[in-house]
């Protein structure tokens, strides 16, 4: 009997040890949303891409400083303003053991850009590759991409395009990619339990990932699970209970709770969406730069960020995020100064202050009202009016048609972290996002020149020069870039959040 008890105890102990070892090699993410699909070419959803990107790699990726670096390629070069060559890395395996070739790259890019390439359907991601006109497979494992016009942003857009296996798609059909994965990423799919979780296991034959993002090699953990937990409170509770190791979209009001818990902490990173107030530069009062500058001095951005967002946003003095290419840290800072605002209004002919209407979507009503409250101290009397997003867009983004209204609290995303797809559309004369009605031929010339400049340093200089001009003329009140907030277990190491919202688990370890 004693011998049986000893054996039973030893077996239980061995089971417990093996369980602990298994758990130590598993990372769990409390994720707000289920993926829409597992097909890299058939969505336009950031959460879906975050999950997919752990199982598929791209031609390039971003390092910790958001610099674009090779991943499935060894190098790339710009042959001309409209031609790029990519040297494909050899020895990369798909999850089924087959070798990735340049043909798979061409097939993937054609699937993304050619009309009807997905069994008669055109990829909803086609516009993300802009003027890509043709993809060629050349000798020596080279892929050549032809553009219909210069587009220096191409490398910055490629981290978001994942490479699929031509043979797998042709054998199983496009529809199979919706639920099956045969990628080159550091994890391979075990099971997608829709509405519950996406379970992955380490890909043992992984080529190692980008040499510019060490450590190179297999993933640290054996399993990774994205657990779908839509409710904020439930995600927070799961982290505090130790059921998950990372949670996304941590509410600002829960930050102190997570920080005060001995086993958890908070990580933040600047997001990719800039918030600002469009001022109608065509309106009678707001034509005057002194009025626009007065309004900028009247907004206590720091107070609002501290009170409404618990300090989790980066203040900006121009349209670009601090993490964006060509960010200019030397712009004029319009710090809160109600007396200066009053003085500028008086100089502009408004000694008794000014009355204006601030429009916004219902989701930002509280923010708009807070802005109005602080502006009142500078003699700026704000009436907040909410409307539907589509109605506000049609009213303010008029592209050459006369504008009506005073102010609009809105935002613009910049997933590429490049000025081309945020600075240009919001500031170039009559461009699609120019809700302020701003027009400056010199700025247009600089933006156009930057758009075709191949030299990185010259291109950055052109954008910085343009932003310096804009910063003085102030067509917008530039507010903040909200941070992405993550709750994390203190058992976690090797991982940090990324400004492009990716949750890259290759380097994540559980101690």
> Taking the domain 27-68+93-98+106-127+149-263+490-510, which CATH number applies?
3.40.190.10
The pLDDT tens digits for 279-300 are: 999 988 999 999 999 999 999 9
Distance CA 411, CA 331 (A): 20
The pLDDT tens digits for 42-65 are: 998 989 999 999 999 999 999 988
For residue 288, give the DSSP letter: S
| C-alpha of 264 from chain center | 25
Is the pTM here over 0.85, yes or no?
no
Locate the domains of the chain by residue range: 27-68+93-98+106-127+149-263+490-510, 273-483
Distance CA 277, CA 14 (A): 62
The β-bridge relationship of strands 492-493 and 476-489 is unpaired
| CATH of range 273-483; options 3.40.50.720, 3.40.50.1220, 3.30.750.24, 3.10.105.10 | 3.10.105.10
DSSP of 2-43, one letter per residue? Answer: HHHHHHHHHHHHHHHHHHHHHHHTEEEEEESS--S-S-TTS-
67-93: b or e for each residue (b if 16 or more CB lie within 10 Å)?
A: ebbbbbbeebeeeeebebbbbbbeebe
The confidence band for 19, taking pLDDT boundaries of 50, 70 and 90, is very low
User: Residue 155's pLDDT is what?
Assistant: 94
Residue found under tokens 């340093």: 457
Sheet holding 73-80, edge to edge: 73-80, 83-88, 142-147, 132-138
Region 11-30 average pLDDT: 55
Region 195-221 average pLDDT: 97
User: Residue 385's pLDDT is what?
Assistant: 97
Region 198-223 average pLDDT: 97
Region 102-131 average pLDDT: 96
The confidence band for 230, taking pLDDT boundaries of 50, 70 and 90, is very high
Examine the pLDDT at 262 and tell me if it is beyond 80.
Answer: yes
């Amino acid at each position: 009997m004693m011998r049986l008890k000893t054996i039973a105890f030893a077996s239980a102990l061995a089971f417990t040890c093996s369980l602990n070892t298994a758990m130590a090699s598993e990372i769990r993410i409390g994720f707000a949303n289920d993926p829409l699909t597992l097909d890299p070419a058939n969505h336009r959803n950031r959460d879906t891409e975050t999950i997919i990107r752990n199982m598929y790699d791209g031609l390039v990726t971003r390092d910790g400083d958001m610099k674009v670096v090779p991943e499935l390629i060894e190098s790339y070069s710009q042959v001309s303003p409209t031609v790029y060559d990519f040297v494909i890395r050899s020895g990369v395996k798909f999850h089924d053991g087959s070798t990735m070739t340049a043909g798979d790259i061409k097939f993937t890019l054609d699937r993304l850009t050619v009309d009807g390439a997905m069994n008669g359907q055109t990829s909803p991601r086609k516009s993300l590759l802009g003027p890509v006109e043709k993809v060629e497979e050349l000798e020596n494992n080279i892929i050549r991409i032809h553009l219909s016009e210069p587009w220096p942003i191409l490398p910055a857009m490629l981290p978001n395009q994942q490479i699929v296996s031509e043979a797998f798609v042709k054998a199983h059909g496009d529809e199979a990619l919706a639920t099956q994965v045969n990628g080159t990423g550091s994890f391979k799919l075990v099971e997608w339990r829709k509405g519950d979780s996406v379970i992955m296991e380490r890909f043992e034959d992984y080529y190692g990932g980008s040499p510019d993002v060490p450590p190179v090699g297999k993933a640290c953990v054996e399993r990774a699970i994205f657990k779908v937990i839509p409710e904020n409170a439930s995600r927070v509770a799961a982290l505090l209970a130790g059921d998950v190791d990372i949670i996304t979209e941590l509410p600002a009001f829960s930050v102190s709770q997570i920080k005060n818990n001995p086993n958890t902490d908070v990580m933040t990173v600047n997001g990719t969406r800039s918030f600002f107030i469009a001022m109608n530069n065509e309106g009678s009062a707001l034509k005057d730069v002194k009025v626009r500058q007065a309004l900028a001095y009247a907004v206590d951005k720091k107070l609002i960020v501290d009170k409404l967002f618990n300090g989790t946003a980066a203040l900006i003095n121009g349209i670009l995020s601090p993490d964006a290419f060509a960010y200019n840290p030397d712009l004029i800072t319009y710090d809160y100064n109600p007396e200066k605002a009053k003085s500028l209004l008086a100089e502009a002919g408004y000694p008794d202050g000014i009355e204006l209407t601030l429009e916004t979507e219902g989701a930002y009503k509280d923010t708009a009202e807070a802005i109005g409250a602080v502006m009142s101290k500078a003699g700026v009397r704000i009436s907040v009016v909410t409307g539907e997003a589509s109605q506000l867009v049609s009213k303010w983004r008029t592209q050459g048609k006369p504008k009506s209204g005073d102010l609009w609290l809105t935002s613009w995303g910049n997933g590429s972290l490049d000025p081309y797809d945020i600075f240009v559309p919001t500031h170039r004369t009559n461009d699609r996002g120019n809700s302020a009605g701003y027009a400056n031929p010199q700025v247009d010339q600089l933006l156009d020149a930057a758009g075709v400049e191949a030299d990185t340093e010259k291109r950055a200089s052109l954008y910085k020069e343009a932003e310096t001009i804009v910063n003085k003329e102030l067509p917008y009140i530039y507010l903040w870039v909200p941070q992405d907030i993550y709750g994390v277990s203190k058992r976690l190491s090797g991982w940090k959040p990324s400004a492009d919202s990716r949750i890259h688990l290759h380097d994540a370890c559980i101690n």
